[in-house]
Structure 1
Amino acid sequence: MAVTAAGVFRRTPQERADQRLAWERADQPFFAAGACHILAWVCRDTYPDRPIGLAGLRFAGQSQVFHVYATWADRAFDHAGWNPEADLLAANREFERRPLERIAIVDDLATFCREHFSRMPHQYWGDPLPRARDYVNRHAPPWE
């Protein structure tokens, strides 16, 4: 799957207002915008024997993260599957047309959600965890 900037899939105002409408989007848009953090944590938890990290993107000088993804070596996993992290960063920079910062995420999911105004799994219209597990399992990891 080709690297695509997360912003390509931003939710519409109607999708932001209606959790069911947001839930009913196809998997790639759902995990690109609105549930990327869930997908990243599930990816890390799927491979406990691998040193998978978590990273976030934010606009330079701002504290709010707008996209979260999993990392392993020089690879990144997000809505576009496993790709070189440099390609993911370039695609997002090009789409956003403003400087971005990559940050390492070391918090647990609850702390991250609280600090970045993101939803916990129980706050979605449906349970995103099985959906995220299925999505992770559809994308072969780079070490295989």
Structure 2
Amino acid sequence: MYRPASGFRRTAEERRDPLLSWNRDDLPFFAAGACHILAFAFMATHPHSGFHPVGLWPYGAEDPGHVYVTDGSWAFDHDGWTPQSTLLAATRAAEPGAGFRPRPIHTDLDTFCARHHHRPRHRFAFDPWQRALRYIARFPPPGAPADH
């Protein structure tokens, strides 16, 4: 069952202290605070996969509350592989008043961070890129044979 990013929001102290935020487990780290890093690391790893980054914008917001990648059917984020319809339904059910709507992101990571008030790589306690790549590798694509 998909676990919406809103269940992993950082505390005010974690938002102020990059090291405290960094020290969270991978799932909450990439659910809230580094979802955009995970999405762009996925795109760098799989540039010709048919996936693209998408932001979930709450109603009236200028910045997305969550970022993931999708090919229109499957989505990938902190919770691994999920049908996009399931991700959207669970996220909207967790915060019914937010009115989340998905919108494609057509910029690079640095531009996205600057435009949408998301922490750029150099503002984390450590560079999160390799951590994101290791996390992505933990989730084989849907239909891929499982390692034994």
The TM-score range, normalised by the shorter chain, is: over 0.9
Task: Count the aligned residue pairs.
Answer: 143
Partner of 2:34: 35
1:59 aligns with 2:85: no
1:140 aligns with 2:140: yes
Distance 2:100 2:119 in 1: 23
Distance 1:120 1:143 in 2: 33
Amino acid across the alignment from 2:116: H
Amino acid across the alignment from 2:77: D
Partner of 2:101: 101
Structure 1: 5+ residue stretches without partners: none
The aligned runs of 1:91-130 (5 Å cut-off) are 91-98=90-97, 99-130=99-130
Moved more, 58-67 or 86-95: 58-67
Percentage identity across paired residues of the two chains = 44
Partner of 1:65, secondary structure, is coil
Post-superposition offset of 1:143: 5.5
Distance 1:12 1:45 in 2: 30
Post-superposition offset of 1:27: 0.1
TM score, norm. by length of structure 2: 0.92
The aligned runs of 1:3-82 (5 Å cut-off) are 3-82=2-81
Structure 2: 5+ residue stretches without partners: none
Amino acid across the alignment from 2:50: P
Post-superposition offset of 1:45: 1.1
Distance 1:130 1:45 in 2: 12
Post-superposition offset of 1:72: 2.2
Q: CA RMSD in A?
A: 1.1
Distance 1:90 1:21 in 2: 31
Post-superposition offset of 1:47: 1.1
